[in-house]
A and B are shown apart, each in its own frame.
Chain A
Amino acid sequence: MKLINKVLTGVALTAMTATAAQASTLEDVRAADELKCIVTTGLAGFAAPDANGRWEGFDADFCRAVAAAVLGDGDKVQFVPTTGKTRFTMLNSGEGDILFRNTTETLSRDADLKLSFLPVNFYDGQGFMVPAALGVTSASQLDGASVCIQTGTTTELNLADYFRANGMSYEPVPIETNEEGFTNYVAGRCDVYTTDASGLASTRAKFDDPTQHVVLPEIISKEPLGGAVRHGDDQWFDIGKWVVNALINAEEMGITQANAMNLAANVGNNPGINRLVGSEGNMGEMLGLDAKWAARAIAQGGNYGEIYERNVGPNTPLEIARGLNALWNQGGVLYAAPIR
Chain B
Amino acid sequence: MTEQTYAPGTHPDLPPPSDTIGLIHWLKTNLFSSPVNSVVTLVAIYLLYLALPSAFNWLFIDATYVGETRKDCAQEGACMAFIGERFNLFVYGFYPAELRWRVNLAAILLAVAGAAVLWDKIPARKHMLKFALAYPLIGAWLLSGGFGLESVGTHLFGGLMLTLTIGVTGIAFSLPLGILLALGRQSQLPIIKYFCIGFIEFIRGVPLITLLFVASTMLSYFLPPGTTFDLLLRVLIMVTLFASAYMAEVVRGGLQALPKGQLEAADSLGLNYGQAMRFIILPQALKISIPGIVNTFIGLYKDSTLVIVIGLLDPLGIGRASVADSAWLGLSTEVYLFVAVFFFISCFGMARYSLYLENKLNTGHKR
Checking B86, B93, B218, B322 against A42 with a beta-carbon cut-off of 8 angstroms, the contacting residue is B322
Alpha-carbon separation in the docked complex, A137 to B147 (Å): 66
Q: Is the CB of A41 within 8 A of B153?
A: no
**Cβ contacts under 8 Å, B308 to chain A:** 41, 81, 83
Question: What is the minimal beta-carbon distance from B66 to any residue of chain A, in angstroms?
Answer: 14
Q: Is the CB of A49 within 8 A of B321?
A: yes
Q: Is the CB of A95 within 8 A of B89?
A: no
Question: What is the minimal beta-carbon distance from B32 to any residue of chain A, in angstroms?
Answer: 37
In this assembly, does A132 line the interface, its C-beta being within 8 Å of a C-beta of chain B?
no
A41 touching B221 in the complex, CB below 8 Å, given contacts A50-B325, A51-B89, A82-B311: no
B122-179 interface (Cβ within 8 A of A):
153, 155, 158
**Cβ contacts under 8 Å, A206 to chain B:** 329-330
In this assembly, does B327 line the interface, its C-beta being within 8 Å of a C-beta of chain A?
yes
Q: Is the CB of B311 within 8 A of A95?
A: yes
Among residues of B, the one whose C-beta sits closest to the C-beta of A21 is: B225
Alpha-carbon separation in the docked complex, A89 to B214 (Å): 11
Q: Is the CB of A93 within 8 A of B85?
A: no
Residues 38-75 of chain A: 1 if any B CB is under 8 Å from the residue's CB, otherwise 0? 00111111011111110010000000000000000000
A94 touching B324 in the complex, CB below 8 Å, given contacts A49-B89, A51-B88, A86-B310: no
Q: Is the CB of B326 within 8 A of A48?
A: yes
In this assembly, does A3 line the interface, its C-beta being within 8 Å of a C-beta of chain B?
no
Q: Is the CB of B224 within 8 A of A18?
A: yes
In this assembly, does B116 line the interface, its C-beta being within 8 Å of a C-beta of chain A?
no
Q: Is the CB of B217 within 8 A of A90?
A: yes
Among residues of B, the one whose C-beta sits closest to the C-beta of A81 is: B311
Alpha-carbon separation in the docked complex, A304 to B151 (Å): 35
Q: Is the CB of B213 within 8 A of A45?
A: no
Among residues of A, the one whose C-beta sits closest to the C-beta of B70 is: A317
A317 touching B327 in the complex, CB below 8 Å, given contacts A53-B93, A95-B216, A208-B75: yes
Among residues of B, the one whose C-beta sits closest to the C-beta of A40 is: B324
Q: What is the number of residues of chain A that contact chain B, defined by CB distance less than 8 Å?
A: 46
**Cβ contacts under 8 Å, B273 to chain A:** none
In this assembly, does B318 line the interface, its C-beta being within 8 Å of a C-beta of chain A?
yes
**Cβ contacts under 8 Å, B158 to chain A:** 53
A80 touching B221 in the complex, CB below 8 Å, given contacts A90-B216, A206-B330: no
Alpha-carbon separation in the docked complex, A80 to B332 (Å): 23
Checking A42, A47, A52, A86 against B309 with a beta-carbon cut-off of 8 angstroms, the contacting residue is A86
Alpha-carbon separation in the docked complex, A53 to B231 (Å): 20
A80 touching B311 in the complex, CB below 8 Å, given contacts A51-B86, A93-B221, A207-B330: yes
Q: Is the CB of B224 within 8 A of A202?
A: no
**Cβ contacts under 8 Å, B313 to chain A:** 41, 81
Q: Is the CB of B221 within 8 A of A53?
A: no
A86 touching B213 in the complex, CB below 8 Å, given contacts A18-B223, A51-B85: yes
In this assembly, does B58 line the interface, its C-beta being within 8 Å of a C-beta of chain A?
no
A179 touching B321 in the complex, CB below 8 Å, given contacts A41-B313, A90-B217: no
Residues 198-220 of chain A: 1 if any B CB is under 8 Å from the residue's CB, otherwise 0? 00001001111000000000000
Residues 324-367 of chain B: 1 if any A CB is under 8 Å from the residue's CB, otherwise 0? 11110110100000000000000000000000000000000000
A1-53 interface (Cβ within 8 A of B):
11, 14-15, 18-19, 21-23, 40-45, 47-53
In this assembly, does B320 line the interface, its C-beta being within 8 Å of a C-beta of chain A?
yes
19 of the cross-chain contacts (CB-CB < 8 Å) are A18-B221, A18-B223, A18-B224, A44-B325, A47-B324, A49-B89, A50-B325, A52-B97, A78-B153, A78-B155, A81-B308, A81-B313, A82-B311, A83-B308, A90-B216, A90-B217, A93-B221, A205-B329, A316-B326
